[in-house]
Amino acid sequence: MGMTMTQKVLAAHAGLDKVHSGQMIMAKLDLVLGNDITAPIAIEEFEKAGMVTVFDKSKIALVPDHFAPNKDIKSAENCKLLREFSREMDIENYFEIGQMGIEHALIPEKGLAVPGDVIIGADSHTCTYGALGAFSTGVGSTDMAVAMATGEAWFKVPEAVKIVLRGKMGKWVSGKDVILHIIGMIGVDGALYQSMEYCGEGVANLSMDDRFTIANMAIEAGAKNGIFEADDRTLKYVSEHSKRVPVVFKADKDAKYSRVIEIDLAAVKPTVAFPHLPENTRSIDEIGDIRIDQVVIGSCTNGRLEDLRMAAKVLKGNKVDQDVRAIIFPATQRIYLQAMREGLLEIFIEAGAAVSTPTCGPCLGGHMGILAKGEKAVSTTNRNFVGRMGHTESEIYLASPAVAAASAITGKISSPEEVIK
């Protein structure tokens, strides 16, 4: 029996010719990632265990992005701990205010993830780098502590779900709509501890930003990771961002999958996930009249340049509804700068939106966009659990940047076609 993409990557890093689902392996790591919520715990465990040095100062990345810029004294202390630890260990990849970004957009941009890598991060959306053909997954802070010292981690080799993409997406449809559509089909536990492996001729029609978004939300289907086979578009992206040599792994023709799902991209409509689970999806023509109070465009899921361009296309020449707060978060400083050069920030501000420095703040109900009791938000983030963005009696509707921007204009959940004729 052949191996899946994920199994091949893991086998290579475990020094084995072959692995199978359910097998326990020890694999070498190419990157260990932490943020200002999870890394302080890992650092405490690192020191408590008597560890005195990291395994490789170039293969650890610390990014204070969740409560940064610091919202209070506790968050300031957490960021200080990361800063001091990075200096003490001479960690090369420490990115703070001015150089920082939302970690899962920043890591590929900095060239720290390439095809064939094995990456762990003490954040569940570390699965984002599967867009590049890497195996990447979230872990706990204690696992991160051990990995920083040893450069290795235990894994149970996952089964895989094969997702075959056909055709091309229609107008106003993006990677966010595709992954919400898939999660709506299979549920939030539909790929539990499995690898979501994307293939088919439709993959070539997805931009890298689309792929990052789709891989980012693998965890929202319960998956261990999401992964795309690296193609010419992937390799072009990597060559523009990294000096490292990629290693491309392709699934064997006789690889075993737990199930095969076929998706006609042309049939996917703009999709919205209703409270309080990402699986609670409806297409835009099934929404009804739902008034909203806030719109958030950004996050590690949809704060990339294509996302901002899409939002600007909808917002240009329009005004945000007087009863809506629209907040836009470019995912990194580089994206922010390019958006400024292209005039996107001017479009946002003239429309009546607020533009923020990169931060995860509103996504996890941390700061810069907290919802009050009874408020409703359309958000391009990845989770809409009870209380995720504020009060437990608030509601979050997950959507693409195009739908979010249109909703900001109309004051209710809307299709872009309602404002762009």
> What's the pLDDT at 417?
87
**Per the structure block, which two tokens stand in for 84?**
């001091």
Residue pLDDT, tens place only, 100-145: 899 999 999 999 999 999 999 999 999 999 999 999 999 999 999 9
pLDDT at 421 over 70: no
Residue pLDDT, tens place only, 237-284: 999 999 999 999 999 999 999 999 999 999 999 999 999 999 999 999
Return the DSSP state at 270: P
Of the candidates 258, 354, 20, the one whose C-alpha atom is nearest the C-alpha of residue 156 is: 20
- What is each CA distance from 38 to 64, 66, 140, 392, in whole angstroms? 10, 10, 8, 23
**What residues does 396 pair with on adjacent strands?**
377
Phi, psi (rounded to 5 degrees) for 141: -65, -35
Average pLDDT, the chain: 95
> What's the pLDDT at 147?
97
pTM as predicted: 0.95
> What's the pLDDT at 198?
97
The answer to whether the CB of 270 falls within 8 A of the CB of 378 is: no
**197 Cβ contact list (under 8 Å, min separation 6):** 4, 5, 6, 160, 161, 162, 163, 226, 227, 251, 257
pLDDT at 68 over 90: no
CB atoms within 10 A of CB 66: 23
> What's the pLDDT at 366?
84
E strand spans, 69-170: 93-94, 118-121, 135-138, 152-156, 159-166
Phi, psi (rounded to 5 degrees) for 173: -105, 135
> What's the pLDDT at 268?
96
Please, which pLDDT band fits residue 364 given cuts at 50, 70 and 90? confident
Please, which pLDDT band fits residue 418 given cuts at 50, 70 and 90? confident
Residue pLDDT, tens place only, 3-40: 999 999 999 999 999 999 999 999 999 999 999 999 99
CATH 3.30.499.10 domain extents, the chain:
5-264, 272-418
- What is each CA distance from 16 to 8, 23, 46, 194, 262, in whole angstroms? 9, 12, 29, 20, 31
The predicted model gives 144-159 an average pLDDT of 96
State the architecture of 5-264 in CATH terms: 2-Layer Sandwich (3.30)
> What's the pLDDT at 103?
93
The span from the CA of 120 to the CA of 411, in Å, is: 40
- Length in residues, the chain: 421
Give the rounded percent of residues in the chain with a pLDDT score beyond 90.
90
The secondary structure of 186-243 as a DSSP string is H-TTTTTTEEEEEESGGGGGS-HHHHHHHHHGGGGGT-SEEEE---HHHHHHHHHH--
Superfamily of domain 272-418: Aconitase, domain 3 (3.30.499.10)
Query: Could you give the angle at the alpha carbon of 36 between the alpha carbons of 33 and 42, nearest 5°?
Result: 60
- Residue 255: strand, helix, or coil: strand
pLDDT at 86 over 70: yes
Rg from Cα positions in the chain: 20
- What is each CA distance from 242 to 31, 74, 95, 121, 216, in whole angstroms? 14, 35, 17, 20, 20
> What's the pLDDT at 65?
87
Please, which pLDDT band fits residue 97 given cuts at 50, 70 and 90? confident
pLDDT at 1 over 90: no
Q: Which residues of 86-125 are buried (b: 16+ CB within 10 A; e: fewer)?
A: beebebebbbbeeebbbbbbbbbbbebbbbbbbbbbbbbb
Show the 3-state SS of 327-344. EEECCEHHHHHHHHHCCH
The answer to whether the CB of 229 falls within 8 A of the CB of 287 is: no
